[in-house]
């Protein structure tokens, strides 16, 4: 490892060439992540309002408070990963996947134990909800997701390779979404004696346990197949103080632009995901309709974007392609809001087009953060992979919190009755109509704002990204000569 005028130059390890094995391994990593993350995004609020009988506003408040707390745990985890020494020949990021895979899976399953619905004390239900959610999200999910996400920047120095990793990561997420949003509704939704579609608590518990087991299997495959090739000393060895490191990270203009775009993206897409089950149960009258809707939205992306997204990135640039796609998604969702159709299949057509456009940006977004990490190294001479990623991850969690909080508060605002839902009773027509509006108008406006943020606030367009790669390659080549 060599100290230069620019800082500490990373070392390229002699390992097998980057290839399909790495991409598949990284794909399985996010497959594992999303067996708990997508499950939480899709079913957590619904489980606690419709099975446990917790008020939507209380669920929303938990999500907001937890994500603010995550600001400390995420950044703290990033600093730990960057500064904790690594043994000779060891891996800075992979080791966390090995140790945290089982704990995060157990914590996820604990959130969906249906016996809590029988608690006589409402306060005890809320305590269980909060304790298990913090254990999963703020502790164990943070401890595995920060190292996993940071690992992409050290698997290859090539920008196109990392765009491929982003695509394969998103493919893993899409596969998990297909399982959770397409298969689980067929299992967990049943019809009660009054003929009303409801979420079945015991079935939800079983489904959550199965998802946790599958998450561990996916993490094991990720650990086995991925290789870290770019190695730097811990930032503590480089003599970099925590204060200076954080100051450099938070002054990163590209990170700021990406954070705003990601916040808006997550508020839009996760709000849509969170409200989807309520839309199917109340506007269309059958929770199982979530399955064909999700298939229509996800299968085209899974089949096409694994090839199309890397081409778009290479031909036009990530930011350029993402901005255009999010503009299309916004226009389509607003059109669905304007016509307010009662035809399920017409609504699915709008939904499928919008989700394909959103997925186009999602398939590339993880390559954005590796570009930001390169930008950070170009500007400061220090490579803070995990710290940069952790700040970005926290911002994403704020978006997740805003989406979850917005979902709960919006349901409360339009008059959704959780007590009636937990007893298998129908909502009023006014509430059903308002849920349709929420499911189209809010994400539609949000998608348009994402596109505008990428155009005007994110500086790493294709030309700048290519220049940064050339600068870093020249630095490393000079270090080898010296």
Written as one string, the DSSP assignment of 367-392 is: HHHHHHHHHHHHHHS---HHHHHHHH
Give dist(CA 268, CA 256) in Å, integer.
19
Check residue 11 and give its pLDDT: 63
Per residue in 338-370, pLDDT tens?
A: 999 999 999 999 999 999 999 999 888 878 988
The CATH number assigned to the domain with range 245-481 reads 1.20.1250.20
What confidence category does residue 2 fall into, taking pLDDT thresholds of 50, 70 and 90? very low
Per residue in 32-82, pLDDT tens?
A: 999 999 999 889 999 999 999 999 989 989 988 887 787 778 888 888 887
Burial of 324 (0-12, 13-18, 19+ CB in 10 A): middle
Query: In the predicted model, what is the mean pLDDT of residues 151-162?
Result: 83
What confidence category does residue 237 fall into, taking pLDDT thresholds of 50, 70 and 90? very low
CA atoms within 13 A of residue 200's CA, in its CB half-sphere? 16
pLDDT at 231 over 80: no
What confidence category does residue 239 fall into, taking pLDDT thresholds of 50, 70 and 90? very low
Phi-psi region of 84 (alpha: psi -120 to 50; beta: other; left: phi over 0): beta
Phi/psi at 10 (5° precision): -65, 150
Query: In the predicted model, what is the mean pLDDT of residues 454-469?
Result: 92
Give dist(CA 375, CA 385) in Å, integer.
11
Domain 21-228 in CATH 1.20.1250.20? The answer is: yes
User: Could you give the residue ranges of the DSSP H alpha helices within 283-384?
Assistant: 290-316, 318-339, 344-380
Give dist(CA 467, CA 453) in Å, integer.
22
β-strand partners of 8: 3
pLDDT at 3 over 50: no
Cα of 397 vs its chain's centroid, Å? 8
Residue 19's CB: how many other CB atoms inside 10 A?
A: 12
245-481 shares the fold of 21-228: yes
Rounded to the nearest 10 degrees, what angle do helices 318-339 and 253-282 cross at?
30
Percent of the residues in the chain that have a pLDDT greater than 70, as a whole number: 90
Residue matched to tokens 């765009």: 163
pTM for this prediction? 0.71
Check residue 247 and give its pLDDT: 64
What confidence category does residue 248 fall into, taking pLDDT thresholds of 50, 70 and 90? low
Domain regions of the chain by residue span: 21-228, 245-481
């Amino acid at each position: 490892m060599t100290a230069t005028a620019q800082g500490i130059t990373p070392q390229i390890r002699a390992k097998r060439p980057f290839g399909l094995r790495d991409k598949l391994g990284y794909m399985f990593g996010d497959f594992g992540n999303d067996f708990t993350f997508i499950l939480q995004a899709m079913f957590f609020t619904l489980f606690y309002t419709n099975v446990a009988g917790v008020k939507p506003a209380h669920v929303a408040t938990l999500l907001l408070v937890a994500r603010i707390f995550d600001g400390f745990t995420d950044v703290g985890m990033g600093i730990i990963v960057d500064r904790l020494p690594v043994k000779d020949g060891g891996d800075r990021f992979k080791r966390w996947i090995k140790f945290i895979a089982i704990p995060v899976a157990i914590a996820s399953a604990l959130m969906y134990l249906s016996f809590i619905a029988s608690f006589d004390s409402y306060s005890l239900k809320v305590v269980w909800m909060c304790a298990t959610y913090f254990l999963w999200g703020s502790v164990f999910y943070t401890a595995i997701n920060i190292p996993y996400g940071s690992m992409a920047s050290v698997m290859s120095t090539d920008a196109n390779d990392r765009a491929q990793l982003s695509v394969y990561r998103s493919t893993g997420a899409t596969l998990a979404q297909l399982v959770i949003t397409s298969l689980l509704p067929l299992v967990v939704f049943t019809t009660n004696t009054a003929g009303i579609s409801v979420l079945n608590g015991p079935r939800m518990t079983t489904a959550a346990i199965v998802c946790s087991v599958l998450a561990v299997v996916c993490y094991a495959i990720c650990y086995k197949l991925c290789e870290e090739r770019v190695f730097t000393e811990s930032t503590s060895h480089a003599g970099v103080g925590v204060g200076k490191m954080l100051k450099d990270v938070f002054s990163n203009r590209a990170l700021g632009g990406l954070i705003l775009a990601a916040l808006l993206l997550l508020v839009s897409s996760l709000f849509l995901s969170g409200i989807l089950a309520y839309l199917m149960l109340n506007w269309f009258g059958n929770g199982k309709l979530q399955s064909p809707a999700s298939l229509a939205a996800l299968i085209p992306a899974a089949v096409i974007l694994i090839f199309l997204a890397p081409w778009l990135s290479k031909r036009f640039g990530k930011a350029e392609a993402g901005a255009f796609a999010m503009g299309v998604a916004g226009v389509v969702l607003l059109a669905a809001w304007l016509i307010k159709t009662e035809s399920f299949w017409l609504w699915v057509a709008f939904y499928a087009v919008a989700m394909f456009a959103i997925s186009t940006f999602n398939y590339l977004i993880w390559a954005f953060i590796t570009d930001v990490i390169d930008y950070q190294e170009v500007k400061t001479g220090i490579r803070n992979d995990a710290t940069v990623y952790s700040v970005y991850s926290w911002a994403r969690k704020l978006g997740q919190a805003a989406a979850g909080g917005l979902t709960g508060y919006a349901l409360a605002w339009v008059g959704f009755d959780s007590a009636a839902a937990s007893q298998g009773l129908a909502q009023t027509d006014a509430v059903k109509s308002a849920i349709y509006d929420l499911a189209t108008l809010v994400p539609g406006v949000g998608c348009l704002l994402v596109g505008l943020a990428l155009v005007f606030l994110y500086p790493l367009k294709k030309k700048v990204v290519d220049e940064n790669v050339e600068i870093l390659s020249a630095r490393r080549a000079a270090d080898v000569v010296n």
